[in-house]
Amino acid sequence: MSQTKQINQSDIGDILENSLNGIRPNHAECLRLLESDDVPLMGLTAGHLTKKQFGQKASFVNNIILNYTNVCITDCKFCAFYRSPGAEDSYTLTLDQIESRVKVAWEMFKIRQVLIQGGHNPNLRIEYYENTFKMMRQKFPNIGIHGLSTSEIDMIARIEKSSTKEVLSRLKDAGLQSIPGAGAEILVDSVKDIISPKKISSVDWIRIMEESHTMGLPASATMMYGHVESNADIADHFFKIVELQQRTNGFMAFIPWNFEPNNTLMQKENLVPYGKGGIQLLKMIAISRLVFDGLIPHIQSSWLTNGVGMAQLALQYGADDFGGTLIGEEVVSCTGARSTELTGKLIVDAIHQIGYSAEERDNFYNSIALL
């Protein structure tokens, strides 16, 4: 059957036809996409839009994650990583430990990005972060610093009795270069009240993102789906990000990833017995491309929780970026869902397996090498 005939027969054909003509779905149409089962045709359309822009090519970044502390007082129900202050197995990395981890990763893998994320640790003052960023910019100038979610920025501001703007400005001066999208989960407060009642509200997430974009700190946006949210909540999430991006143009990438319930309070309380799996991931990737086409350039495949095989499929369903090697990641690993340790070579092989060329990129999605 031809693509046109398929589109004419689909319950979402009108939306996909618009997409092929450069018209993005609106909020109501996004909801219709979420309610539809026609994932293959969404993927075909999203994959077509992606190929039109990027060709048969997928990018990735050699990076590590520095989970600098697991001490946290925010008690999110979806988190298996955190420990209360004083817990026997809690930790906070020292500046020397951070330096030696980054040094080893630079020497072994020539990493181009360190993703820095940790718990909301009430014992850490802003100088801890400033000293870390200054050390990294000075000793490893080729490595981008992608760090601190909006909720960590908010925590630092509360500890320092300062504004988030002031904190962002000091951290930027110390060497912070971009902000990861974590902490968004689903940007609907009735959802946040269930899964992370002590974390910042959706309004605060958007405000801090807007502040960072405005002062020249670009960011990624994320969505953690597959827990207590409805399709209407997911549509709201997409469109809050659309509206912010239309104002600031500060998001470089969007990353949808599925909630992994193992070892979390949400599983213990039987709120979510199992994750959403592969088809839902492909649907979210495809809808992300359709909703953000021409607005947010990059959509990342979520290999960390879904594995390399799913990431290869995601690249056909609207993702253009494989993501990072994420060496040293500890948060998802605590749920047992981490699929494997990946090196740049394994990512390049996975991209070549589907007949694409691989592009190593830096923190800002600039090309470093075509492989």
Q: Applying CB under 6 A, which residues contact ligand SF4?
A: 72, 74-76, 79, 81-82, 119-120, 151, 196, 199
Q: What is the DSSP string of 83-116?
A: B-TT-TT--B--HHHHHHHHHHHHHHH---EEEE
CB of 185 or CB of 359, closer to ligand SF4: 185
Q: Give least dist CB 148 to ligand SF4, A.
A: 11
Q: Give least dist CB 75 to ligand SF4, A.
A: 6
**How many residues in the chain?**
371
CB of 7 or CB of 332, closer to ligand SF4: 332
CB of 81 or CB of 133, closer to ligand SF4: 81
**Start-end of H helices in the chain:** 3-9, 13-20, 27-35, 39-54, 95-109, 126-139, 150-160, 164-174, 189-195, 202-214, 231-248, 265-268, 278-292, 303-316, 344-353
Q: Give least dist CB 31 to ligand SF4, A.
A: 28
Least Cα distance to 146 among 208, 55, 65 occurs for 65
The SS3 assignment for 288 reads helix
Q: Give least dist CB 155 to ligand SF4, A.
A: 8
Contact by Cβ (8 Å): 72, 119 = yes
Cα distances (Å, whole numbers) of residue 185 to 181, 190, 223, 351: 9, 12, 5, 28
CA distance 95 to 199: 27
Q: Give least dist CB 47 to ligand SF4, A.
A: 32
Q: Give least dist CB 77 to ligand SF4, A.
A: 8
CB of 62 or CB of 121, closer to ligand SF4: 121
Instruction: Indicate the residue type of 163.
Output: S
Q: Give least dist CB 326 to ligand SF4, A.
A: 16
Q: Give least dist CB 331 to ligand SF4, A.
A: 7
Contact by Cβ (8 Å): 305, 257 = yes
Hey, how many other C-beta atoms are within 10 angstroms of the C-beta on 214? 13
CB of 39 or CB of 195, closer to ligand SF4: 195
In degrees, rounded to 5, the angle at the alpha carbon of residue 67 between the alpha carbons of residues 298 and 284 is 30
CB of 14 or CB of 160, closer to ligand SF4: 160
Burial class of residue 32, CB neighbours in 10 A (0-12, 13-18, 19+): middle
Question: 129: which DSSP letter?
Answer: H
Q: Give least dist CB 153 to ligand SF4, A.
A: 12
CB of 129 or CB of 322, closer to ligand SF4: 129
Residue 59, beta-bridge partner list: 321, 359
Contact by Cβ (8 Å): 263, 83 = no
CB of 82 or CB of 259, closer to ligand SF4: 82
